[in-house]
């Protein structure tokens, strides 16, 4: 039981096999394996052990096979759980990085429009220019661009990402 864990993969009890399988599951994810490949690797291990015992004509008692099976069942559960948890973490990190990149683009667009609008206002004041002229049109375009950015989907996505925190 110390090595294989209890039947059913009780998550409260910790076994040597479970610890190793947890590390193995994370490693397989980092190497690009799928969850299907993780599960089948343990099935292949069981098959290899039983084939070797057969080839060497080593007696394999039912209780020993049950221990092997329990060990591998628990190892599969631990490896798949670790694999899935690590994949979820990677996905969350990637989602946050993408949201941060969208925020950077939004901030750049708003700063650019604000700077241009500020220059337009300064030019209009310095030259006593009418709002209906070309400089006034630049100012209106900048305000429209900022309104579109603020009302656009990027800001809503940022809010949703931070609301989940």
| Residue 67 lies in domain | 16-92
Pair (69, 38) in one structural domain: yes
Q: Kindly report, residue by residue over 4-23, the tens digit of the pLDDT.
A: 667 665 554 567 778 888 89
Evaluate whether residue 63 is within a structural domain. Answer: yes
Q: What is the pLDDT of residue 68?
A: 86
Angstrom distance (rounded) from CA 30 to CA 85 = 12
Number of domains in the chain: 2
Q: Kindly report, residue by residue over 49-108, the tens digit of the pLDDT.
A: 999 999 999 988 888 888 888 888 888 988 999 999 999 999 999 988 888 888 898 899
Using CA atoms, how far residue 21 sits from 9, 103, 110, 129, 151, in Å, is: 12, 39, 49, 74, 48
- In this prediction, residues 117-141 reach a mean pLDDT of 95
Q: What is the pLDDT of residue 103?
A: 86
Contact 83, 38 (CB under 8 A): yes
Query: With 60 as the cut, is the pLDDT of residue 134 above it?
Result: yes
Rg (CA), the chain: 31
Evaluate whether residue 119 is within a structural domain. Answer: yes
Pair (41, 63) in one structural domain: yes
Evaluate whether residue 56 is within a structural domain. Answer: yes
Compute how many other C-beta atoms are within 10 angstroms of the C-beta atom of residue 24. 19
Evaluate whether residue 6 is within a structural domain. Answer: no
Pair (62, 27) in one structural domain: yes
Q: What is the pLDDT of residue 157?
A: 74
């Amino acid at each position: 039981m110390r090595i294989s864990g209890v039947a059913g993969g009780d998550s409260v009890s910790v076994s040597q096999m479970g610890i190793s399988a947890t590390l193995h599951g994370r490693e397989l994810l980092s190497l690009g394996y799928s969850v299907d490949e993780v599960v089948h690797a343990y099935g292949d291990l069981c098959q290899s052990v039983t084939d070797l015992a057969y080839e060497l004509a080593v007696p394999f008692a039912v209780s020993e096979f049950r221990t092997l099976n329990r060990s591998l069942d628990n190892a599969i559960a631990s490896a798949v759980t670790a694999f899935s948890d690590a994949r979820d973490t990677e996905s969350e990190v990637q989602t946050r990085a993408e949201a941060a990149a969208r925020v950077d683009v939004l901030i750049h667009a708003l700063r650019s429009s604000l700077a241009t609008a500020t220059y337009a206002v300064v030019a209009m004041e310095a030259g006593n220019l009418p709002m209906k002229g070309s400089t006034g049109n630049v100012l209106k375009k900048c305000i429209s661009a900022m309104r579109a950015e603020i009302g656009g989907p990027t800001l809503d996505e940022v809010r949703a990402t931070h609301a989940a925190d």
